[in-house]
Every structure is written in structure tokens, then in C-alpha cells.
Amino acid sequence: QAVVRHTFIVQDTEYTKLCSTKTILTVNGQFPGPTLYVNKGETIIVDVYNKAHYNITIHWHGVKQPRYPWSDGPEFITQCPIRPGQKFSQKVIFSTEEGTLWWHAHSDWSRATVHGAIVVYPKNKNYPFPKPHADVPIVFGEWWKRDIVEVYNEFLHSGTDPNISDAYTINGHPGDLYPCSKSDTFKLMVNYGKTYLLRLVNAAVGDILFFAIKNHQLTVVGTDGSYTKPLKVDYITISPGQTIDVLLEANQPLDHYYMAARVYSSADGVEYDNTTTTAILQYNGKYAPSSPSPLPYLPYYNDTSASVNFTGRLKSLADENHPINVPLNVSTNLFFTVSVNTLPCIEGNACEGPNGTRLSASVNNISFVSPSIDILKAYYLNISDVYSNKFPSKPPLFFDFTADSFPSYLETPKQATKVKVLEYNTTVELVFQGTNLLAGTDHPMHLHGYSFYVVGWGFGNYDKEKDPLKYNLVDPPLQNTIAVPKNGWAAIRFKAINPGVWFMHCHLERHFSWGMEMAFIIKNGEGPKGKMLPPPPDMPPC
């Protein structure tokens, strides 16, 4: 069977939204970019041409790429950027994923506009629920009226939080509550009596979102490319990086209903975009047009319990056709604190952080410093001085992580490029502990190259005696992104069977830019099936 090829042309494209026009980076001129449709287990090749004046990389979020980290995409982790005028043919290897994933740029903040959905069909379109009438990707995004490169540079220079966006978007459209946006509000046309599979992707740069459809319950059936037990809900919470599949039954009498999304923002004192993006669910046929229906109910912007009330109820489908495989015996325990911190000001910068500092972020008190050649190449070719392999398994100091205030000496992280090396086949339990150092908030932590079971979560400090007793080892959800709740922790498990270099980071772009990331190196195992594949000949040069 011939390998399917796709062409991605990264280019500057003019878009008009919120009454003003600007040039954005797109793939094939589209915002959001093209949806990729693949079958489970298929390998495709995407020829990425960079026709912009800007370095870029493309990442396939949630695609495990077994033994082939070479086209995973994070800049200076698995590759150097594709420069203007260059091309990189990226092999994307699907294996066990089934459901919805997405792709996005993985260099500075380009992913604000360079992203799109990936739909992975089951074999023979054999869903574990009645076959839906149609599939509809719903991609949430954020829009700034200003140039995103300017917003990003200003953010780095200021040392404090970035300027908030001017709108959220649904499939690229802010919706009719925003100026100059009414005529291109996204409309989903449905037929009464049919069921639709909505494939929700949160591609927003920095915000967790609540989403709901007026008068319609949603049945969650999957997340992050894996099925869940059907869960009926009135609203969903979706983190940047996360995907959620929901069934929508078109069973209501009027001709149209609003769907809406709005921020969930738990950080105290951090400004947020409090606007609401809308789209319209429109029934085909001869319905009398109704006056605009009211908006659906969405939880209040800082309602952490509403957020975990949704997220904490997800469970793997775990039936005989979709068995799960939770590692029961853990061979390596990792405990990672995730914190927002401060660093001394860089001279010449604005330094608007607390007391003239700049904000930073860290994992186990290490704020990640991006190297100038990629870690994967350095690892493969044994180039020294690019990274250290001494990333700690636990924080340098245990303290009351979720207290209300802290001695200030706790606040300054180390800056380094460190990776955690794991032997092939290690069974890992990783506990993420949120801290309140500067300000507590949710952190959607994302791991490349793997899906992991979320076996537990809770509020306060993790208790290594008591909390494991409450783990779900029967049907925990299989995810690639987990929102570590504000003032709390989350525990994940995975087996290190994918050799390579795999990035892990907070998917809130500002935390990522401040250093809330690290990388794993999983060593080769025995036999050819345990070894990384060789690099392609056209890796972008450094």
C-alpha cells in the first residue's frame, strides 16, 4: 500500500478579524490549518515547505512515533528549525492512537496560528458506539489583533505576563459577540434525529476553556486519541493540548442554538481574556427561525471544582476490545514540582516581575534552557556539552508546596538544560506536584512520544503513603496531557518502551517560554524492535 503524502506550505497569509487585517503564518493559507484524516496504524508523510520568512518546526501532538523521534518536531529538542526556503519531509507514524489528535508549530509562539486537527479513524470505521452521522472538528484558538511575533517579543522583554488575546475562536471565527464577526460565525448544520461526533481540540495559546451547547447534553467518548467510558455532561473543560471527542444528538425543537467557550483561569492576579466565543448549531429543514437563543451555562472563570468535576470523571473505556495495560509494578518513581518563579532581571529589559525581577517557571526547580543544537542529534552523535543527563528525580527540597506564602530563597530556580535518562522498559510513576511559589494555577503537562495513565490526582500536597491507596488502576484515562490542578497534584504511569528523546512541558505557552519543561531520553532496548530507527537524510541542519 502506497504511503499517503500531504503537502504543508507554511506561508504568510492575510486575515481580517475584529475589524482589522494582519498577516499571519498559516499552513496552506488556512486558519486553522488543514485537518489530516488517517486510519489507525497508518504511516503518512507530510512534506513541509517553509515559504515564510521565519524559522518553523511542526509537531504531531499525541502521535507516539514509535522508535522515530526524528520528525516529532519540538525545536532544539528533536530537530533544528526548518529555515525559510527549506523543506522537511516528516514521517508521521500512527500506532495505537484512535480518535482525535492535532498538529501544531513547535517553535516560539507560531502555534498560535499554525495548527490543525488530526482525525484517526478506527479500523473499518468500527467505533465502540453507533456510527455517527458525521465528524466535525471543532478547534478552539486565540486571536490577537497585533502581530503574534510582536506580542511574543514584548512578553519576553517585559519579564511579566503576556498581553491577553483579543478573542477566542471556534474553527477560526470569534463569533457574533465580537465586533465585525457576525457574518462569519461558525455554523454547524445538523439534521434532526442524527448524532454527530464533535472532535474538540484546544489549540489556544494559554488558556483552559469551558465549552457547552445550549439545551444539548454532550456524551464524552474519547480524549487524547483514546476511548473513554461514555460520560454525559452539560459542559466540558479542555486544556491547551488536550483533545476531547463528544457525541452530540440533534434532538431539540428550535432551529438554532448557541455553542460557547470561555476561559477557565485559576491564577490569582493574572489578567485573562474574559470574552466568550460562540458558534451556532443550526438545524436543517423547515424550522421557523427563532430569535437568538440565550448562551449556554458555563462555569465561572475561576471555578476549579467545576474544572476537576469534569476532568476527574474521565475513565478509559476498558472493554474487551479496548483492553488497558496499566503498569502495576513501578520500577522508577519520579516526583516533579511544577512552579512559577522569578529570576534576576536581564539588563536592558523591562523586568516588570515582582520587585524588578522577571518571571520564570521550572520543573524540580530547574528552569529549562533551550540548547542551540537539538538534544536528539547530540544524543545520537554523542556530541558533548549540549545537555546534562542529571535531571533530578525529585525536587531539591521538600516543603509545604501548597502553602500560602514562602521564604523568598525558595523562589529562584536554577537554569540548565538537563534530561532524565530512563532504561528501556522502565515502568515509571511520575507525580506532578503543583506549587504556590509565586502563584498557583493549573498546569496542563504534556509528554511527547507516549500516552500515560492518569492513576490519581488530588488537592494539597501529595501524600506518598495515603494517596496511592486511592489510585484508579482499573480504568484510568489514557492521555498525553494532564492538567495538574491548582493547589494539587496528579500521578501518571507509563512504560518506557519508546526509545528516543521526548519532550515534556506545560502547554500554557507563557509557562513554556519561562522554562516549565524538561526532556526524557529513553535508551535503546534489546533487539531491533527496541532500537531507535536511523534519522532521515533531510533533517534540517543546525
Shortest reach from residue 58's CB to ligand C2O, in Å = 11
* Cβ–Cβ < 8 Å for 296, 214: yes
Q: Kindly list the distances between the CA atom of residue 26 and the CA atoms of 13, 35, 153, 163, 201, in Å, as whole numbers in the listed order.
A: 6, 13, 19, 22, 17
- Asked whether the bond before 32 is cis by omega within 30 degrees of 0, the reply is yes
Shortest reach from residue 484's CB to Cu ion, in Å = 8
Query: Which amino acid type is present at position 541?
Result: P
- Can residue 76 be called a binding residue for ligand C2O (CB under 6 A)? no
> CA-to-CA distance for 400 and 142, rounded, in angstroms?
35
> CA-to-CA distance for 144 and 163, rounded, in angstroms?
9
Shortest reach from residue 241's CB to ligand C2O, in Å = 5
Work out the number of other CB atoms within 10 angstroms of the CB of residue 82.
25
Shortest reach from residue 432's CB to Cu ion, in Å = 10
Partner in contact with 61, chosen from ligand C2O, Cu ion, none, beta carbon below 5 to 8 Å by kind = ligand C2O
| Sign of torsion over alpha carbons 8, 208, 107, 91 | negative
Q: According to CB under 6 A, which one of 32, 33, 69, 74 is a site residue for ligand C2O? A: 74
Binding mask 449-488 for Cu ion (x = CB under 5 A): ----------------------------------------
CB closer to ligand C2O, 104 vs 214: 104
Q: Kindly list the distances between the CA atom of residue 447 and the CA atoms of 74, 196, 245, 450, in Å, as whole numbers in the listed order.
A: 12, 30, 20, 6
Partner in contact with 506, chosen from Cu ion, ligand C2O, none, beta carbon below 5 to 8 Å by kind = Cu ion
Partner in contact with 44, chosen from ligand C2O, Cu ion, none, beta carbon below 5 to 8 Å by kind = none
CB closer to Cu ion, 138 vs 363: 363
Q: H or E stretch including 443?
A: strand 443-447
Query: Which amino acid type is present at position 86?
Result: Q
- Can residue 199 be called a binding residue for ligand C2O (CB under 6 A)? no
Whole-angstrom Cα Rg for the chain: 22
Q: Which stretch binds ligand C2O (CB under 6 A): 141-149, 184-192, 402-410, 499-507?
A: 499-507
Q: According to CB under 6 A, which one of 10, 38, 50, 59 is a site residue for ligand C2O? A: 59
Query: What are 133's three cell numbers?
Result: 452521522
* Cβ–Cβ < 8 Å for 216, 248: yes
Partner in contact with 216, chosen from Cu ion, ligand C2O, none, beta carbon below 5 to 8 Å by kind = none
Shortest reach from residue 59's CB to ligand C2O, in Å = 5
- Can residue 446 be called a binding residue for Cu ion (CB under 5 A)? no
CB closer to ligand C2O, 242 vs 360: 242
Within 8 A by CB and 6+ apart from 16, the residues are 180
Q: Kindly list the distances between the CA atom of residue 201 and the CA atoms of 2, 66, 209, 241, 452, in Å, as whole numbers in the listed order.
A: 29, 23, 11, 7, 19
Shortest reach from residue 480's CB to ligand C2O, in Å = 8
DSSP 8-state assignment for residue 232: E
* Cβ–Cβ < 8 Å for 263, 208: yes
Closest by CA to 225, choosing from 66, 499, 450, 489, is 450
> Where in 427-466 is the site for ligand C2O (CB under 6 A)?
446, 448
* Cβ–Cβ < 8 Å for 330, 425: no
CB closer to ligand C2O, 65 vs 461: 65
Q: According to CB under 5 A, which one of 378, 506, 519, 521 is a site residue for Cu ion? A: 506
Q: Which stretch binds Cu ion (CB under 5 A): 220-228, 382-390, 421-429, 501-509?
A: 501-509
Query: Which amino acid type is present at position 8?
Result: F
> Where in 81-140 is the site for ligand C2O (CB under 6 A)?
104, 106
Q: Kindly list the distances between the CA atom of residue 132 and the CA atoms of 104, 122, 125, 256, in Å, as whole numbers in the listed order.
A: 27, 13, 10, 20
Partner in contact with 104, chosen from ligand C2O, Cu ion, none, beta carbon below 5 to 8 Å by kind = ligand C2O
**86 in helix, strand or coil?**
coil
By CB under 5 A, the count of residues binding Cu ion is 4
> CA-to-CA distance for 60 and 93, rounded, in angstroms?
10
Partner in contact with 508, chosen from ligand C2O, Cu ion, none, beta carbon below 5 to 8 Å by kind = Cu ion
Q: According to CB under 5 A, which one of 250, 279, 490, 508 is a site residue for Cu ion? A: 508
By CB under 6 A, the count of residues binding ligand C2O is 11
Q: Which stretch binds ligand C2O (CB under 6 A): 33-41, 43-51, 490-498, 501-509?
A: 501-509
- Contact residues: ligand C2O, CB under 6 A: 59, 61, 74, 104, 106, 241, 446, 448, 503, 505, 507
